[in-house]
């Protein structure tokens, strides 16, 4: 029986797992609306090419070259149940079975430290107090030295990590044989490693300790039963919103997913001020729904005039954060609006690679301001 199971595992590894991994990576990258139809088309075209590329050039079609593995027959009652392609080789890790949370003994001080870090991590924002206690009990403290690799891209993953002390660099290869590209730095209170657990996929990036670091590791089982559903729901909602923001459409899906984790939301009624000219600004806004206008005092002593119009998919508030200056205009809701936003720290940390584009785009405000001045408004 063990020999047969080994053969099945070997067969799945050689003929199924690699294909499912590539399919999963492309699904996460493209995020098609109709996953089933898209996957069928993918398997018929790209899937065939991938399989062909793995075959040996001198492979023979003779049945004597390969051992035929006969799958064990299921009981009659079981045959009526829906079969799962990945039940044995790939998907077993994320099945919700009977759950007995692990408890790792900790001091009260350790629990308080973990609780503080969880409150800083967006991944755990939706947990109630009972769920948070289960997560705290299950977490394991791990220490890493400078240059230690915590996770490596392509490996299987069984833990999510929350940073308690130190800094860690994140790298990603965008082609199979490409070089590691630096993406970002992880700081205390941030989490990583959740993609492998959320989507049952290989590690999407590599994380290396930049300094001596202390992390808290959460196991797959606890994550699946306590954190996963709420985290996936929030992430998927905001990833879809972010894809509509032109500025962020060029971001790698891995980076975009982390922006989605950091996002908060706010709603405003028609006529309400989101930003007031002259105030200090610490928030970068993106528009999920609705329309807003920017008004500005162009002549001292006169009423502010409209200088810009915002719609769904636009963003504002970046000037104060990029140039460290007071707000340069009022932003007023023209309709009921839903906004998503990042605070100053998250903006600098996550949108750093886009800073040059943001700075170039600030010219649009000067052009509109000059237009209204010439119109005598």
Regarding whether 219 and 272 lie in a shared domain, the answer is: no
Is the pLDDT higher at 36 or at 371? 36
Q: Is the pLDDT of residue 196 over 60?
A: yes
Whole-model pTM? 0.48
End-of-domain residue from the set 216, 232, 248: 232
Q: Is the pLDDT of residue 372 over 50?
A: no
pLDDT in tens, 97-139: 567 888 999 999 999 999 999 888 777 877 878 889 999 999 9
Regarding whether 170 and 271 lie in a shared domain, the answer is: no
Regarding whether 277 and 201 lie in a shared domain, the answer is: no
How many domains would you assign to the chain? 2
Q: Is the pLDDT of residue 358 over 80?
A: no
Regarding whether 294 and 357 lie in a shared domain, the answer is: yes
End-of-domain residue from the set 211, 232, 253: 232
The percent of residues in the chain predicted with pLDDT above 70, rounded, is 74
Q: Domain containing 371: what range? A: 263-375
pLDDT in tens, 37-86: 778 777 877 767 666 665 544 434 333 333 333 444 444 444 444 333 33
Q: Is the pLDDT of residue 216 over 90?
A: yes
Residue 245 within a domain: no
pLDDT for position 138: 94
Q: Which residues on adjacent β-strands are paired with residue 151?
A: 207
Cβ pair 323, 364 in contact under 8 A: no
pLDDT in tens, 292-309: 999 988 777 788 888 889
Q: Classify strands 337-343 and 283-289 as parallel, antiparallel or unpaired.
A: antiparallel
Cβ pair 231, 260 in contact under 8 A: no
Regarding whether 219 and 120 lie in a shared domain, the answer is: yes
Is the pLDDT higher at 84 or at 237? 237
pLDDT for position 365: 52
Regarding whether 296 and 225 lie in a shared domain, the answer is: no
Regarding whether 351 and 306 lie in a shared domain, the answer is: yes
- The DSSP result for 59-91, as a single string, is ----GGGSPPPPPPPPPHHHHTSPP-TTTTTTS
Residue 46 CA to residue 333 CA, distance in Å, equals: 47
Summary mean pLDDT of the chain: 77
DSSP H helices, 154-252, are 194-198, 220-222, 228-242
Tell me the binding residues: 194, 203, 318, 327
Is the pLDDT higher at 18 or at 155? 155
Residue 224 within a domain: yes
Residue 12 within a domain: no
Cβ pair 207, 151 in contact under 8 A: yes
pLDDT for position 18: 66
Q: Provide the CB-side half-sphere exposure for 249 (13 A, CA).
A: 7
What's the CATH code of the domain at 297? 2.60.120.10
Residue 67 within a domain: no
Regarding whether 305 and 222 lie in a shared domain, the answer is: no
- Judged by average pLDDT, the poorest of 90-94, 142-146, 152-156 is 90-94
The percent of residues in the chain predicted with pLDDT above 90, rounded, is 29
Q: Which residues on adjacent β-strands are paired with residue 275?
A: 331
For the record, the structure tokens of 247 come out as 């500025």
pLDDT for position 5: 63
Tell me the binding residues for 3',5'-cyclic AMP: 194, 203, 318, 327
Is the pLDDT higher at 91 or at 207? 207
**Torsion angle of the four alpha carbons 96, 97, 98, 101, in this order, in degrees rounded to the nearest 10:** -50
pLDDT band, very low/low/confident/very high, at 3 (cuts 50, 70, 90): low
Tell me what the mean pLDDT of segment 307-316 comes to: 89
Q: Which of 8-22, 199-213, 230-244, 360-374 has the highest mean pLDDT?
A: 199-213
DSSP H helices, the chain, are 2-12, 18-30, 35-42, 48-54, 76-79, 108-120, 129-138, 194-198, 220-222, 228-242, 253-262, 318-323, 344-350, 355-361, 363-374
Is the pLDDT higher at 332 or at 225? 332
Reduced to 3 states (helix: H, G, I; strand: E, B; else coil), residue 202 is coil
Q: Is the pLDDT of residue 357 over 70?
A: no
Residue whose C-alpha is closest to residue 69's, from 12, 27, 125, 107:
12
Residue 70 within a domain: no
Residue 190 CA to residue 168 CA, distance in Å, equals: 10
Residue 280 within a domain: yes
How many residues in the chain?
377
pLDDT for position 121: 79
Residue where the block lists tokens 């063990």: 2
Q: 274-277: list long-range contacts, CB under 8 Å, 24+ apart.
A: 274/331, 274/332, 274/333, 274/337, 274/339, 275/316, 275/317, 275/327, 275/329, 275/330, 275/331, 276/327, 276/330, 277/304, 277/326, 277/327, 277/328, 277/329, 277/330
CA distances from 273 to 110, 123, 268, 339, 344 (A): 43, 30, 8, 13, 20
Regarding whether 228 and 287 lie in a shared domain, the answer is: no
Residue 157 within a domain: yes
Residue 54 within a domain: no
Is the pLDDT higher at 62 or at 205? 205
């Amino acid at each position: 029986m063990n020999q047969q199971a080994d053969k099945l595992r070997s067969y799945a590894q050689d003929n199924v797992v690699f294909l499912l991994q590539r399919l999963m990576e492309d699904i996460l990258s493209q995020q098609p609306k109709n996953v089933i139809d898209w996957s069928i088309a993918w398997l018929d075209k790209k899937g065939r090419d991938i399989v062909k590329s793995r075959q040996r050039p001198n492979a023979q079609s003779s049945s004597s070259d390969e051992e035929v593995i006969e799958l064990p027959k299921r009981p009659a009652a079981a045959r009526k149940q829906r079969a799962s392609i990945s039940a044995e080789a790939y998907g077993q890790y994320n099945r919700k079975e009977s759950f007995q949370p692990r408890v790792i003994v900790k001091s009260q001080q350790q629990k308080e430290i973990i609780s503080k870090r969880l409150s800083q991590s967006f991944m755990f924002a939706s947990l109630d107090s009972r769920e948070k206690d289960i997560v705290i009990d299950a977490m394991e403290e791990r220490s890493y030295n400078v240059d230690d690799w915590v996770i490596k891209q392509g490996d299987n993953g069984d833990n999510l990590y929350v940073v308690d002390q130190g800094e860690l660099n994140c790298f990603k290869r965008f082609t199979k044989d490409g070089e590691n590209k630096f993406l970002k730095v992880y700081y205390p209170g941030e989490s990583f490693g959740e993609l492998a657990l959320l989507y049952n996929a290989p590690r999407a990036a590599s994380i290396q300790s930049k300094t001596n670091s202390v992390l808290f590791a959460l196991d797959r089982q606890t994550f699946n039963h306590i954190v996963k559903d709420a985290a996936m729901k929030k992430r998927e909602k905001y990833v879809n919103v972010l894809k509509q923001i032109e500025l962020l459409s060029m971001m790698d899906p891995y980076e975009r997913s982390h922006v989605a984790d950091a996002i908060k939301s706010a709603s405003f009624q028609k006529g309400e001020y989101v930003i007031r000219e002259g105030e200090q600004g610490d928030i970068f806004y993106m528009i999920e729904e609705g329309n807003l206008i920017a008004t500005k005092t162009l002549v001292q002593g006169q009423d502010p005039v409209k200088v810009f119009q915002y719609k769904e998919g636009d963003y504002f508030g970046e000037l104060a954060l990029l140039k460290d200056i007071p707000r340069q205009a009022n932003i007023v809701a023209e309709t009921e609006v839903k906004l998503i936003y990042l605070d100053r720290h998250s903006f600098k940390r996550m949108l750093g690679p886009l800073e040059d584009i943001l700075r170039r785009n600030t010219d649009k405000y000067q052009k509109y301001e000059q237009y209204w001045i010439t119109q005598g408004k």
